[in-house]
Amino acid sequence: MTSLNLKLSCSLAVLGSLYMRLYFFWLRFTQTQGQTQRARTQPQRAQERQGARKLEELPQVILFITFYCKVCTHHYSSHSDKNERILQEYGYCVMDNHRERIGNFRIEPPGLFRGRGDHPKMGKLKRRIRPEDIIINCSKDSVHPKAPPGTRWKEVRHDNKVTWLVSWTENIQGSIKYIMLNPSSRIKGEKDWQKYETARRLKKIVERIRAQYREDWRSKEMRIRQRAVALYFIDKLALRAGNEKDEGETADTVGCCSLRVEHIRLHPQLDGQDYVVELDFPGKDSIRYYNKVSVEKRVFKNLQLFLENKQAKDDLFDRLNTSILNKHLQELMDGLTAKVFRTYNASITLQQQLKELTSSDDNIPEKILSYNRANRAVAVLCNHQRAPPKTFEKSMHNLQTKIDEKKKQLSAAKKELKAAKADAKTLRDEKSKKAVETKKKAVQRISEQLMKLEVQATDREENKQIALGTSKLNYLDPRISVAWCKKLGVPIEKIYNKTQREKFAWAIDMTDEDFEF
């Protein structure tokens, strides 16, 4: 059960107890009043007796509520204790003599398969995972969990070249599922650091790579031209490379290398711009990617050449796939992939946007709004979209109501300040001067509260269809955010929540305010 339910039950128990005390206090009070006021009429006494009979039922209700709340509190607290015992038994492991937290160690129960996006196998039944399906990976001298009585694990292996602890094969797609260490673990932190350091290495040679693919646009070989144009799209638009997929096995989603003729339209002129490419295709998780972008003339001419004599379902880059592209990227730089380009472009965009949007004179809410706008620019670049929350309109209405109420409070506070100033001018005493100072502080406090609410409303409206979390956790070097916080005096808690701070503890500890990506 959730901690909210536990708190609610505790609150109800306290309220029930409070009602009991108030009732008995009222009884004592009425008895005292009865002793001092004996001279009452017969109808008055009859009316009081009728009221007393009604009140006799009240303690029973209160006792029931109090008892029920105490039972609920005991149930939730015992449930919480059970979860804590399970966490302590199965939620940790020892790696290299360090106690590390394991990620999600609970296996999914059987149910209907959802899949990502418009998946063709949606609705199929996921069968129950049994001990005979499970592979345990641990060191030879470790004590691994025992299988339930009457069962055994599929295998217990000792592979120190991988980081997963448990694996099994699911029945829908035949893919292998893993249980791994928590994102806050040391080995995950090292991998994150290496990922962002690879992107920083790309920064040093990116101009040389760009010069090379521009030169390749004029190559006599069609495969080299296609590779160069695809790399231009990955660099400029932060497109995913796109993997080859078995038809009917996964949703029809595409990336750069798997674009088809039907996904692209060319406009020599559009909306006052020359050489416009219109891209419209289902990206990862079947999220629509739609963009109109002006490209260089040589890219436009090459795209016209690639489209010649092709049907709508034909591949745009028919002489290119992700294997060929990644092999070429490895030749350009060790460890370079299309995802490194996305990480580089996302991080460098965040750093540039923060410099442009943030002022040291801004207050904390305005700085946070600037950060979210910079993060939003990255999310738009990476096409991190979401459907508007179902409660969006209601929450915005409630927020606007708070803003309107705060404006009324501010108007009333200003009138009170004006009246206090008039009294101080007339009376010229110490008391009236203090009243003016008090009213000034009240106006300032309400003004700050109103400003925070208005910033919150602006931020919420702008983020209605943008998912900021994906880029923040996976593509943005956290050292950029930490350095920005330290330089401008923004609490790190305003940018990263507790779980995210644990994940990026390595960045928080090692970064100073002068860090540059």
- Please give the mean pLDDT across all residues of the chain: 80
Q: What is the pLDDT of residues 277-309, one digit of tens each?
A: 888 888 777 778 888 888 899 989 999 998 888
Cα gap 280→301, rounded to integer Å:
19
How far from chain centre, in Å, is Cα 123? 27
Q: What is the pLDDT of residue 28?
A: 53
Residues contacting 317, CB < 8 A, separation 6+? 226, 227, 229, 230, 256, 257, 259, 306
pLDDT reading at 442 higher than 60: yes
HSE at residue 292, side-chain half, CA atoms within 13 A, is 11
Q: What is the mean pLDDT of residues 330-345?
A: 89
Q: Which fold has domain 188-336?
A: Topoisomerase I; Chain A, domain 3 (3.90.15)
Cα gap 475→341, rounded to integer Å:
10
Instruction: Flag the least confident range among 88-102, 213-227, 324-338, 419-433.
Output: 419-433
Cα gap 109→91, rounded to integer Å:
18
Q: What is the mean pLDDT of residues 93-109?
A: 85
User: Matching CATH topology for 92-182 and 188-336?
Assistant: no
Residues contacting 382, CB < 8 A, separation 6+? 238, 342, 346, 470, 471, 475
Under 8 Å between Cβ of 243 and 237: no
Q: What is the pLDDT of residue 244?
A: 57
Domain residues of the chain, as ranges? 1-71, 92-182, 188-336, 346-510
47 against 484, higher pLDDT: 484
Residue written as token pair 């650091």: 193
Instruction: Flag the least confident range among 100-114, 462-476, 495-509.
Output: 462-476
pLDDT reading at 479 higher than 90: yes
Enzyme catalytic residues: 475
Q: What is the pLDDT of residues 172-207, one digit of tens each?
A: 888 899 998 888 888 888 888 999 999 999 999 999
CATH number of 92-182: 2.170.11.10
AA letter at 282:
P
pLDDT reading at 318 higher than 60: yes
Q: What is the pLDDT of residue 211?
A: 92
Q: What is the pLDDT of residues 399-426, one digit of tens each?
A: 888 888 888 888 888 888 888 888 777 7
Q: What is the pLDDT of residue 280?
A: 87
The model's confidence at residue 432, banded by pLDDT at 50, 70 and 90, is confident
What percent of the chain shows pLDDT beyond 70? 82
Q: What is the pLDDT of residue 50?
A: 52
pLDDT reading at 154 higher than 90: yes
Cα gap 372→497, rounded to integer Å:
14
Q: What is the pLDDT of residue 69?
A: 60
Q: Which fold has domain 346-510?
A: Topoisomerase I; Chain A, domain 4 (1.10.132)
Q: What is the mean pLDDT of residues 364-393?
A: 82
